[in-house]
Structures are given as C-alpha cells and as structure tokens.
Amino acid sequence: IIASQLVVPDEINVNWKDIAGLDNLIRELRETVILPIQKRELFADSRLTQPPKGVLLHGPPGCGKTLIAKATAKEANMSFINLDVSLLTDKWYGETQKLASAVFSLAVKLQPCIVFIDEIESFLRTRTAHDHEATAMMKTQFMSLWDGLITDPSCTVIIMGATNRPQDLDKAIQRRMPATFHVPMPNEFQRERILQLILHEEPIASDIDYKKLAATSEGFSGSDLHEVCRQAAVYRVRDYAREDLAREQESIDNKSNCSDPDEQYTDA
C-alpha cells in the first residue's frame, strides 16, 4: 500500500518551474527547509540548527500546496511518500498501528525523505474527550513515532502537512511543525503569472490579454484557472471537430449528388 504512494526523486515530475507567482514563498522554503538538507554537514553540528522535521503548508484548496511539497522533494533530492490519511483512519486499530510504523521505517530507510500528508487536520485534529479510543491511541502513536525522528539528529525525514484549516490542528502537532508557510489565494498579479505558465506552450491567439484575464478572475485559485483554460481549449477543439465533421459530411453528400445514378450498374 505504501509503495503505491512512494516516488523516488528521479521520478518526481514537478519542479519550481511548474509553480507561478509564489517566488517569495519558494525563496523562504529554500532557506528554511532545503538548504539545511543540501548542506547537512554545516547544519547538523548543533541541535539548534537542525533542519525542521515538520513543515506545515496552509491555505485554501487548489493554490499549490501539493505542487510545492513535490517540488521541495525534487530540489532537495528527497524521496516522496504521499500518505493517504484514510489508510490510517479506515482500518482496525491494530492494522493502522502497523501501517504507521511501516511508513516511518520506510521513510527512514529512504532518507532523505518527505512524508506528505494532505488534509492533515482530518487525522491530527485537536483531541477531545469524545475521541474514539482507537483514534486517540493512533494520534499518540503517530506523535511518538514523529518524536523518534525529531530526537535523532542524523535523521533526514520531514513530515510535511497540508491543510485548509490550520486552526483545527492539535496544538501538539503545531509544535512539531515549526516551519509554517501560508500558500494564499493568488492575487491579480499572481493570477496573471499562473495563466502565462498554463498557456505558455499552447497554440493561443497572439493578442491574448493576460492582464484583463487576471483582472476578471478575482477569487479563482490556480486550480480554477487551470480548469478554465482546459475547458476553453476543449471547446475550441470540439468546435473544430464539429466543423471538420460537417465538412466531411458535405463532401460525401456532394459526391453522391454528383455521381451518375447509372454508374453503379455500369460494371455489373
């Protein structure tokens, strides 16, 4: 199960060039997370300069959190495990316990490695007295496995969580994620950059007005912009295909109208 969610660095198909409008955030990530991995020998000397073992990306859906996590792994030459939290919540407690241990030991074997957990708050939300006993035990076990990484200075495994609801995360989890980055809804300038990136290799009209498109797409996430461009491209191809079909039909009709009605009997 875990192997199906695992990608080694060479096979990660996202890099920074695939992300538009987030230059400052990328710069900060490079300084805080990637540099200490790339220059481990300089940072590993002291406990105070250890690379963070927990990173939180928070912000609205479709704004690039997953892209950023993958590009970080790519640049830092790390393996990437995309941990589907439903695997840890759907099964019987004994099974999830084994799975959580397996994920951590696989990550340690593959290190340097990022374990990415999308919607991390759905699994590690604030603990309450109403928590099911198995859920509470699962969270406790997960945190103690995580602490094992934190206390081992030679370990280069990062738990990278993404969430739309950071306020729902357990405080104990927030403490384990000292590097926190907000991935915002794109502003007008960022939307322009995202549209340019999405369309840069597409056969588009030469007079396309990116500024106007950006100004009229207030409230659209990167994912929304991608979907709008996809639909526009599909409509165009569909129109063309329909016209092409009509032309073919017309030429068939013309041929059958022009042909000599007796011709079909000539050979016979």
Contact residues for ligand ATP, defined by CB under 6 A = 19-22, 61-67, 118, 162, 164, 194, 197, 222-223, 226
> Residue 79 pairs with which residues in a beta bridge?
113
| Residue 67 CB, nearest approach to ligand ATP (Å) | 4
| Residue 180 CB, nearest approach to ligand ATP (Å) | 15
Task: Kindly tell me which of 20 and 173 has the beta carbon lying closer to ligand ATP.
Answer: 20
Residues near 190 by beta carbon (within 8 Å), at least 6 away in sequence: 20, 21, 22
Contact 177, 53 (CB under 8 A): no
| Residue 64 CB, nearest approach to ligand ATP (Å) | 3
Task: Kindly tell me which of 27 and 247 has the beta carbon lying closer to ligand ATP.
Answer: 27
Single-letter residue type at 91? K
Task: Kindly tell me which of 156 and 190 has the beta carbon lying closer to ligand ATP.
Answer: 190
| Residue 143 CB, nearest approach to ligand ATP (Å) | 23
Strands (E), 164-238: 179-182
| Residue 31 CB, nearest approach to ligand ATP (Å) | 19
Residues near 182 by beta carbon (within 8 Å), at least 6 away in sequence: 25, 58, 59
Residue reference for tokens 């540099």:
35
Of all residues in the shown chain, the one whose CB is closest to ligand ATP is 222
Task: Kindly tell me which of 40 and 226 has the beta carbon lying closer to ligand ATP.
Answer: 226
| DSSP 8-state code for residue 188 | H
Task: Kindly tell me which of 89 and 223 has the beta carbon lying closer to ligand ATP.
Answer: 223
Residues near 131 by beta carbon (within 8 Å), at least 6 away in sequence: 139
> Residue 81 pairs with which residues in a beta bridge?
6, 115
